[in-house]
Amino acid sequence: MQTRQSAARTSINPPVTDRGAVTVEAAIALSALTLVFALLLAGTVTMTDQLRCADAAREAARLISRGEPRLAEEAVARIAPQGAQLSVNTEGDNVMVQVRANAVAGLLPGVNLVAVVHTVLEPGVSHANG
């Protein structure tokens, strides 16, 4: 038989249960999975943007070596990620083309994408500026 004292203790100190623990664990797991997915997506986009920079630099170098710098700028604007910058350095017949862009449209601060291509001017082209 239960006394008043033990009944009072039961109502004051309810039994400790694990109720709700699964909900908290599920919320933490879903948050972690979302973070991992976002990092994988950012990595994939960064690799794709790096490939686009390399393709743009290659195409720009080809056009510059033919003496068509305006077409090279258009190619970089068309192929490279948005906001990419083209720089061309010429020493004699040697040309260095560099394309720079921010990773994931600037959402990853401190991560810069760079592609560099070296080429030689074709015969008959006097300098890289056409």
Write the pLDDT tens digit of every residue in 94-128. 999 999 999 887 788 888 999 999 999 999 887 66
Within 8 A by CB and 6+ apart from 54, the residues are: 99, 115, 117
pTM recorded for the entire structure? 0.74
Within 8 A by CB and 6+ apart from 12, the residues are: none
3-state secondary structure of 89: strand
Task: Convert the pLDDT of each residue in 9-37 to its tens digit.
Answer: 556 766 677 676 778 889 999 999 999 99
- For the chain, which residues make up each domain, given as ranges? 20-120
- DSSP state at residue 104: G
